[in-house]
């Protein structure tokens, strides 16, 4: 690969050899890398800089503005939260955490590698997805959300095509990325073949990027976080609203998969914000002309402004458009 010569070397990350840059954001660079010890197959490493040079101003929107120290502590808490949440998670449609370490300047989040990269690029490549391929993708995202919302007590809060990664078909992992015990250590994952639905070549989908995610209830005690017994209604509602944020985003993703452009867009951020607040979108002709009424019905139940009326994950999974799937019910598992 052409980028090979330009890859940095991070002190403290000697265990891995960086092979290729896969993504970069404001605070992080993500690389495909090889584990020199051979314990893991190829992995993805999210390298996060601990201190941003020009982000040391205190956040004026924060209630404790006056008391704030430089960003240092804030960033540290955030990244540790991301890792702490990922540690608790174990689901086939969620990127698994392999390892975590840090140096003086960086955090290194070692992740299961999704060789296909972002779903986003596939939407660009294919222009839009067939209904079958869209269903194949969105069911897997929904399974992950069902697990997060109903079992793990976590809301993701940043569901979008850039944070949805995939394995190309046929899906043939060479090694189980997360051995559960010594007896699994050498048990190669058999892999599985997810039938190519349409021509997408998209197999298993995984949710990534828990940088904005939040724990809403304690999965051990099944109670809202940080409360002991006398939970106020607004706290309970808060929990439900935060889940519904993911459902709205799921609707935006489904809309985008089906037609190739997002439901809400405007050059002006003010106008865009206003459109979202009003839930002002349309099934634009001619792009939506050949998309089934059932798919449109499902989208409209997600892009519902009132969070109490918006579909939750169970209603989503029970909608006829989802249930007409002709893939085996465990295709996403
Ligand atoms: P950020 O918080 O900067 O958005 P992400 O965790 O979303 O960080 O990672 C940024 C990008 O890096 C992703 O959009 C994707 O392109 C790539 N990436 C992240 N994790 C993986 C992974 N496990 N496998 C493959 N690519 C990844
Ligand atoms: Mg991201």
Q: How would you class 286 by CB atoms within 10 Å of its CB: exposed for 0-12, middle for 13-18, buried for 19 or more?
A: exposed
Reply yes or no on whether the pLDDT at 308 is more than 90. Answer: yes
CA 63, CA 74: separation in Å to the nearest integer?
14
This prediction has a pTM of: 0.83
- Is the predicted ipTM greater than 0.85, yes or no? yes
Q: With residue 135 as reference, give the H or E element that holds it.
A: helix 131-146
The 10s digit of each residue's pLDDT in 146-200 is 999 999 999 999 999 999 999 987 543 333 334 444 554 554 444 444 444 444 5
Note if 158 is an active site residue: yes
Instruction: Write the residue with the smallest CA distance to atom 12 of ligand 1.
Output: 23
pLDDT of residue 233: 81
Helix, strand, coil share of the chain (percent; to 5): 35, 20, 45
Question: Of all residues in the chain, what percent carry a pLDDT higher than 90?
Answer: 62
Tokens 């994950």 correspond to what residue? 313
CA of 211 to the centre of ligand 2 (A): 8
Which tokens sit at 182? 């010594």
Dump strand ranges (E) for the chain.
Answer: 16-24, 28-35, 43-49, 97-102, 106-112, 117-118, 154-155, 164-168, 202-207, 214-215, 217-218, 223-224
**Mean pLDDT along residues 28-39:** 96
Q: Which residues approach ligand 1 with their CB closer than 6 A?
A: 22-23, 25, 28, 30, 44, 46, 95, 111-114, 117-118, 162-163, 165, 208-209, 211
pLDDT of residue 89: 97
Reply yes or no on whether the pLDDT at 253 is more than 60. Answer: yes
Reply yes or no on whether the pLDDT at 46 is more than 50. Answer: yes
Query: Which bound ligand lies closest to the C-alpha atom of 98?
Result: 1
């Amino acid at each position: 690969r052409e980028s090979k010569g330009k890859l940095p070397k991070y002190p403290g990350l000697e265990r891995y050899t960086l092979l290729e840059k896969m993504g970069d954001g404001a605070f992080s660079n993500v690389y495909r890398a090889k584990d020199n010890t051979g314990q893991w197959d190829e992995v993805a490493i999210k390298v996060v800089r601990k201190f941003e040079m020009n982000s040391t101003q205190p956040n004026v929107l924060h209630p404790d503005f006056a008391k704030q120290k430089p960003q240092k502590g804030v960033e540290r808490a955030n990244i540790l939260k991301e890792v702490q949440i990922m540690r608790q998670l174990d689901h086939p449609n969620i990127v698994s955490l392999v390892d975590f370490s840090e140096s003086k300047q960086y955090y290194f989040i070692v992740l299961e590698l999704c060789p296909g990269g972002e779903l986003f690029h596939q939407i660009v490549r294919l222009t839009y997805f067939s209904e079958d391929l869209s269903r194949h993708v969105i069911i897997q995202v929904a399974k992950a959300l069902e697990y997060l919302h109903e079992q793990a007590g976590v809301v993701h809060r940043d569901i979008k095509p850039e944070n949805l990664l995939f394995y190309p078909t046929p899906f043939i992992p060479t090694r189980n990325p997360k051995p559960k015990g010594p007896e699994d250590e050498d048990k190669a994952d058999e892999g599985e073949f997810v039938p190519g639905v349409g021509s997408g070549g998209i197999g298993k989908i995984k949710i990534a990027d828990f940088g904005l995610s939040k724990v809403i209830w304690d999965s051990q005690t099944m109670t809202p976080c940080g409360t002991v017994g006398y939970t106020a209604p607004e706290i309970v509602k808060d929990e439900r609203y935060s889940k519904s944020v993911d459902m709205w985003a799921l609707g935006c993703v489904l809309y985008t998969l089906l037609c190739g452009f997002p439901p809400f867009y405007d050059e002006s951020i003010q106008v865009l914000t206003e459109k979202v607040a009003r839930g002002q979108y349309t099934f634009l002709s001619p792009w939506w002309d050949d998309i089934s009424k059932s798919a449109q019905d499902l989208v409209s139940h997600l892009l519902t402004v009132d969070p109490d009326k918006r579909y939750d994950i169970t209603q989503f999974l029970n909608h006829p458009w989802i249930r007409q799937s002709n893939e085996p019910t465990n295709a996403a598992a």
